[in-house]
Amino acid sequence: MDNNFEVYLGSVFDLAETVVIKSDYSARIMNASLQLLFPGSFDPLDRRTWKYYLNLAGEYSPVDTVMSVTSIDTLETITFNKTNLLTHRATAREYRYGSKYYLELVSRYPDQEQLILGILYPVDLDAAIAAPDYTILGWPSHLVEQQEFSLMTRLQAWLFGVVNRWNNKNYRLLGPNDLPVVDELYEAAHIAMFTCRLPAAIMAIRLELTNTNQAHTYHIKQYLASNGYLDRYVDGLTLKQQLVLYRNIRWARHNAGRTETFQFLVKNTLTERRMPLTSIRMAHNTENQVEDLVPTVEFKRIQENEVMATNRSIRLSLDELALKQDPVAPGNESERLTGLEKERRLFTHSLSNVVQTKVLESSVFDYTDSGPYTLARILMSHWLYLSAKKRYNSFIRITNPATGEIIPLSVRDAFTFAIYMNTKMLGYELTEVPKVVATRVQRLPTVMPEELMKVSHPSLLGLDYATELLRYQPTIDPVVSIDAFYEKCVEIFRAVTWQRNLTAYQEHDVRRGISHGMMSRIYADVVCDLADVPGQLYADWFQEKSIAIADFPEDNYPELYISIVNACTGVDLTNTTSLKSVLTMMVQMLTELSSYSLQFISEINADKIQSAESATVRVGDLDGALSGDYEAEEATIGPFNVKGAMSHHATHNVNDAVRIENYRDTIKDAFVLELPDLIMDAGLMRKDVFLWDVSSCTVSYDSPSETRLAGNAPVLGIQSWLDMPVAERDEYANLPALT
C-alpha cells in the first residue's frame, strides 16, 4: 500500500467508527442497568431524559461525570461540552476523533466515550427519538466530501438491507424492566456484525461511484496519476476543474492536436480561473517600405479567450518578444544576444507576411491586498487593539530552539515579542516595551447611525444612508478563538469595502466628503500600551514570560516572526493559494496536456499593487440660465403671436434623477379664461418643450380683430373671449409679467 491509500483507508475507518446509528434497543438495555444503579435518574416514559439519547445529542445525563479539559485557545480549564467547543474552536479541532487529546480524554473517562463523541459530533435530540431503528443520524462532516451527496443515502439503504436480511426480531424481545427474553447478547452480536462490515460497505459504495461526479478525491487522484501523473495538480484545482479533468482526460489524450481539444483545455484551465491567454503572430508592417525597401517586423497579440489581458499593448517588437523568453530556458539569453539578427532577417524576408508563432502569453495582475484598506492591515491592527483591550484572549505556543521547551504566549504577549523581533531585524533594539498605535480599528462599542449623523445633514445624507453604511458592521464581542478572530476581521473587511464603495458612488462634492467623514467616524486610531507596568523594560518582560532571549538566534527571527504573525492572525488556518502559484500550475498543466510544441510566457507582478484613491474633481451645485423667444405664424384665433421670456435658478442633484417639469401645466396655471387651452388647441405651443421650471414669463398679444374671428370654427374658450368688452380684451392683452 502507498501512503495515499493508507490515508484514505484511515479516513474510511474514522467514518465507520464515528457514524451515529440509532438503536432504541440499546437505549432500553442501558435503562435497565441505570434503573438498578441509579434509580430515578430518568423517566421511562420520556425519552428526552434517557442517557442514550442525551449522550447522542452531546448533553450530560444526571449520571454522567462532568469532564474538564485545558483549553487550547486560552489555557484555562473549561468544561468539555458543546457550548464551550463552539467558542474554543482550536480546542474542538485538537480533540477530533483519533487525535492525541481525544485518546487522552477517553483514557480519563473510559465509560463516557459515547458522550465524548456526542459532544464532538452532536445530533438533533428530537430527530434521534423520532427516527426508526438503524437510521443513520449523523457523522463528522469533514469525513464526507461535498461532492459525495448520495454516499450516506446509499449507506443507509445498505444498512436497512442488512438488517432486514439478518436481524431476527423474535430474538430482540424485551420483557419486564427492559430485560432480554431470549438471548441478551443477540442484538449486541448483530450490531457488531454489521459494524464490522461498515468500512467495506463505504469503500464499495465509493468504488461504485467512480467515473461519476460523486467520486472521492482519492479515486480522482489515482485516476489522474495513471494519466500523465496529473495527480500533483489536484490540490490546486477547484472541485469543478477536478471533475471536468477526471471525466475528460482520456478524451483529451485520444484527441490531442485538434483545435477543439486545445480550446477545451484553455477553457477549463486558464479561463476557468479568470486568467487571460494571448497568442503571438508576426506581421509585416509596410508603412515605411518605400524608404526602407523592406517591411518592418512586428508581432501582434491575439486574444485566445474572453479574459482581458493586463498588458493592453497589442504590438510587440522582435526584441521585446525575445526578451520575454529569457526565463523559459537557461540558454535563451545568450541565444538572444547572438542570434537575434538572424531571426530578424528570416522574418523580414518571409514569403508570407503573416506567420503564427508558437508563443503563448498569459499576463495577470495580482490585486490581492491592493485596496487602501486591506485584510492584512485589519488583521494586524485588530490583533494589537483587541488583545490590548482584552477582547482577544487566545494563546499560541512557540518553541525554544535551544531546549525544545514549549512556551505558551497570549496573543498580546506574542505581539509584544513580534514587535521586538521586527525592530531588531530593522537594525534597532528596543530596551523598553513600547506603546504602539493601532490604526483604523473599529470603535468600541460599535457606533450607531445617530452618531454618524453628527457629521452630516439630513438634507444631504440622511439617517437611512447612515444605516446603510452600517449594514455589514459586526458587533465585536470577546473572542477566545483564533478562528473566531479571523472571521471577525473578515466581517470588518467586508464592511469597510461596502462603505468605501458607497462613498465612491457619491459624485456630489459635498456628499462625497460627508460620506467619507461618516465612514471614518466608525473607526479610530488607538494608542495601545504593551507594557504590563509603566516603563517596563524588555529584559524584565522576557524574564517574566520565561523567555530566554539568548536562546533565540537572530538568524531565526524572520521565520519566527512570520510564524507568530500567521498563528495569531489565523492566516495559517486558511488554506489560501497565491495567484502566482495558480498561474504557474495552470500553465504547466496546459503545457503537459497540449501536444503542440508551445512556449508559454507567464507574467505576474512580484510585489503587491498599492491602490491610490482617485483624485477626480467632483462638482456640486451648478447655476444655469436659459432664455428664448417663441413665435407662431398667424392663426385662426385672436392671440396669433405669443412671445415668451423666462429665467431659472435651480439646484441640480447629480445623484438623483432630474425633476421634469411640465411646461404646459406651468403656463396653464398662470393664464386666465383658459387662454392656455385655447393656445394649445390652436397648435401654437407643444407640451414638454423644455425640462426647466418657469419662474417668470412675459406674454403679449396683438389686439385681435373681430372680423378675423368671425366665422371661425368653435375653439375651447373662444366664446368667453368674444363675450368680453373690447377694453377688457385690451387689458388682458397687455398683462404684466407673471411671477
User: In terms of Cα–Cα distance, which of 61, 105, 63 is closest to 80?
Assistant: 105
Band of residue 621 on the pLDDT scale cut at 50, 70, 90: low
Whether the per-residue pLDDT at 388 is higher than 60: the answer is yes
Band of residue 599 on the pLDDT scale cut at 50, 70, 90: confident
Band of residue 654 on the pLDDT scale cut at 50, 70, 90: very low
Domain ranges of the chain: 3-208, 273-368+582-604, 375-577, 621-739
CB 220 within 8 A of CB 240: no
User: In terms of Cα–Cα distance, which of 66, 64, 11 is closest to 38?
Assistant: 64
* Residue 290 vs residue 139, higher pLDDT: 139
Largest CA distance in the chain: 126
Band of residue 575 on the pLDDT scale cut at 50, 70, 90: low
For 707, the enclosing helix (H) or strand (E) is: helix 706-709
CB 227 within 8 A of CB 250: yes
Instruction: Say which residue the cell 458592521 belongs to.
Output: 473
pLDDT value, residue 699: 39
- What percentage of residues in the chain have a pLDDT greater than 90? 46
Instruction: Give the residue-averaged pLDDT of 579-583.
Output: 82
Whether the per-residue pLDDT at 644 is higher than 50: the answer is no
pLDDT value, residue 643: 42
CB 542 within 8 A of CB 417: no
Residues 6+ apart with CB under 8 A from 45: none
CB 107 within 8 A of CB 117: no
Could you give the angle at which helices 186-196 and 198-208 cross, rounded to 10 degrees?
Answer: 40
- Over residues 506-525, the pLDDT tens digits come to 888 888 889 999 999 999 99
- Cα separations in angstroms, 246 against 219, 623, 640: 9, 66, 84
| Least confidently predicted of 291-300, 549-558, 678-687 | 678-687
- Over residues 316-342, the pLDDT tens digits come to 888 888 888 888 778 878 877 787 888
| Least confidently predicted of 19-28, 73-82, 153-162, 574-583 | 574-583
Cell of 294: 523592406
Instruction: Say which residue the cell 512586428 belongs to.
Output: 298
pLDDT value, residue 157: 96
C-alpha–C-alpha distance, residues 178 and 479, integer Å: 47
Whether the per-residue pLDDT at 485 is higher than 80: the answer is yes
pLDDT value, residue 704: 41
* Residue 576 vs residue 358, higher pLDDT: 358
Q: How many CB atoms lie within 10 A of CB 322?
A: 19
C-alpha–C-alpha distance, residues 495 and 491, integer Å: 6
- Over residues 80-112, the pLDDT tens digits come to 999 999 999 999 999 999 999 999 999 999 999
* Residue 210 vs residue 256, higher pLDDT: 210
| Least confidently predicted of 49-58, 515-524, 573-582 | 573-582
- Over residues 395-438, the pLDDT tens digits come to 999 988 888 888 999 999 999 999 999 999 999 999 999 999 99
pLDDT value, residue 677: 39
Whether the per-residue pLDDT at 123 is higher than 50: the answer is yes
Averaged confidence pLDDT in the chain: 82
C-alpha–C-alpha distance, residues 76 and 69, integer Å: 8
Whether the per-residue pLDDT at 473 is higher than 80: the answer is yes
Residue 236 sits at the vertex; the CA angle it makes with 231 and 242, to the nearest 5 degrees, is 60
pLDDT value, residue 435: 94
User: In terms of Cα–Cα distance, which of 693, 691, 697, 686 is closest to 644?
Assistant: 697
Residues 6+ apart with CB under 8 A from 188: none
Band of residue 144 on the pLDDT scale cut at 50, 70, 90: very high
pTM of this structure: 0.74
pLDDT value, residue 697: 40
pLDDT value, residue 296: 84
| Least confidently predicted of 261-270, 472-481, 495-504, 601-610 | 601-610
| Least confidently predicted of 102-106, 107-111, 191-195, 351-355 | 351-355
Instruction: Say which DSSP state 198 is in.
Output: H
Instruction: Give the residue-averaged pLDDT of 461-477.
Output: 93
Whether the per-residue pLDDT at 683 is higher than 80: the answer is no
- What percentage of residues in the chain have a pLDDT greater than 70? 82
Residues 6+ apart with CB under 8 A from 515: 461, 465, 469, 502, 503, 506
